Structure 1
Amino acid sequence: METQLQQQLEDLKSALLSMAALVEEQIARAITAHVERDVELCDQVIAGDQSIDAMELEIDEQCIRLLALQHPIARDLRFVAASMKITIDLERLGDIAVNIAKKTKQLAGLPLLKPLVDLPRMADLSQSMVKDSLNAFVRGDEQLAMDVCDRDEEVNQLQDQIFEELLACMKEDSGSVPQAMQLIFISRHIERLADHATNIAEGVVYFSEGRVIKHHASDDPNQSPTRPESDGPA
């Protein structure tokens, strides 16, 4: 017979999955809006962030009630602790989707630069990392979680390549600076998707094995790499 603790843990997992599904949808919309320069879709992404924020607060309350009233131990306790951390990462992923949408709106009235092959590749890879980190959470799949962590460096390398390409573009044509700068910011936001996917994957390893793996440092997507900042909407 299912205990009250088990039921509340299942309810928590269900709430997290609902939030994760909405976050994935927001990210997909933001990337599509960027590719298609769809201002209306950008506005939908921005408006949708309120739902994610509300879900974060609700899940936090669930976790606190569960800890206070059910006193979970061992793996159950680690699951609740990891859930609280994962919720933060999900909320920040939602913020990044909003930031991409806002930067895309700023690009809408500017001439197109030459196609950047690495930017769509990085977007695809970051989205796949988010998806796989969440699948790893659902399944308790430590190997998939570790695979996500291993992919983070590839995203970092692509981001560096994009930065160098856009820097060269600005040096060659000073008129391209406004577009190039917005694309640099967008590439950094996309790179941050991968960072938060990695954080989620690390949380999966923690609640599954009780093992803490190296935490990945974060860079500010809106500033130079030496000036950190939150992922809150820009």
Structure 2
Amino acid sequence: MPLHLQRDLDHLHHEVLSLSGVVEEMLEKATRALFERNAQMADEVIGFDFIVDEREVQIEEECLKALALHQPVAVDLRRIATVLKVNNDLERMADLTVNLAERAKSVIEYPTFVIPPRLARMADIAKEMLADVLDSFVNMDCVAAARVGATDELVDRMNEEIIQELQKTMKDRPDQVVPALHCFSASRHIERISDHATNISDDVIYMVKGTIVRHRFSSGANGSLASG
């Protein structure tokens, strides 16, 4: 591999990992803002959005420049393509954390509303998925990436259960409809964050093996792709 290409690949890798650190911090603060009912922390998350947007555009421009300048092939091309995809998923995650922070600020206005405890566990799983999938990206570990993809089904089930619980709350307690709807949205945002973590897990497998697995992740496929 030419030295200049290696340098640019290393730089892109570093930049996307730096962005991922910001998104992880945003998700941690957004969930804490919701469960601790902390408006100041929610505002901190919202303030990060512009920074993430700028960095996402910068990384994309650097990826396109590397493609044009070096015309990479094989694994080098896949690495740049993966950075482009991961960069986009991280930006979408950041948008979702901002949405989550906004829902947190709305829930604060209803101090008697009880947030379903299951939602806290679901948020913890989503945070673990994000941390684990970024580790798999750093280590180019298909097995770890496949585990993250498999976890998404658990988050989907929990989201459905939380929605059912909130629907019951709205039926039994009409005075709680508004905060329940905000909580409904918060659960959906967390579920979408886990979807983006799953997208990244697909991209890690593509980067390492050159196999496109997006949209057809299953427990059976995970095992064969991870071990192949």
Map of 2:49 onto structure 1: 49
Q: What's the CA shift string for 1:172-212, capped at 9, x where partnerless? A: 11111011100000000010110000001100000100011
Aligned partner letter, 1:136: S
Q: Give 1 or 2: higher helix fraction.
A: 2
Percentage of matched positions with identical amino acids = 38
Question: 1:213 maps to which residue?
Answer: 213
Counterparts in 2 of 1:65 and 1:213: CA distance versus 1, 3 Å = same
2:35–2:115 contact (8 Å) kept in structure 1 = no
What's the counterpart of residue 132 of structure 1? 132
Paired position in structure 2 for 1:152: 152
User: How far apart, CA to CA, are the structure 2 residues paired with 1:124 and 1:202?
Assistant: 21
**What's the C-alpha RMSD, in Å, of the aligned pairs?**
1.4
The Cα of 1:112 is off from its aligned counterpart by: 2.9
Structure 1: runs of 5 or more not aligned = 218-234
1:33, distance to aligned residue in structure 2 (A): 0.7
Match for residue 180 of structure 2? 180
3-state SS of the aligned residue for 2:30? helix
* Structure 1 residue matching 2:116: 3-state secondary structure: coil
Distance in 1 (alpha carbons) for counterparts of 2:97 and 2:198: 17
Look up the match of 2:220.
Answer: none
Displacement, 1:114? 3.1
Q: Where do 1:1-234 residues align within 5 Å?
A: 3-215=3-215
Contact 2:132 2:144 in 1 (8 A): yes
Deviation sequence 1:60-106 (CA, Å, 0-9, x none): 01101100001111011011111111100000010011000111111
Between the aligned partners of 2:178 and 2:42, the Cα distance in structure 1 is: 19
Whether the 8 Å CA contact 2:199–2:214 is kept in 1: the answer is: no
Whether the 8 Å contact between 2:30 and 2:97 is mirrored in structure 1 is yes
**C-alpha distance in structure 2 between counterparts of 1:48 and 1:188, whole Å:** 21
For the 8 Å contact 1:39–1:105, the answer to whether it is kept is yes
Contact kept, 8 Å, 2:15 with 2:59, in 1: the verdict is yes
TM-score by length of 2: 0.92
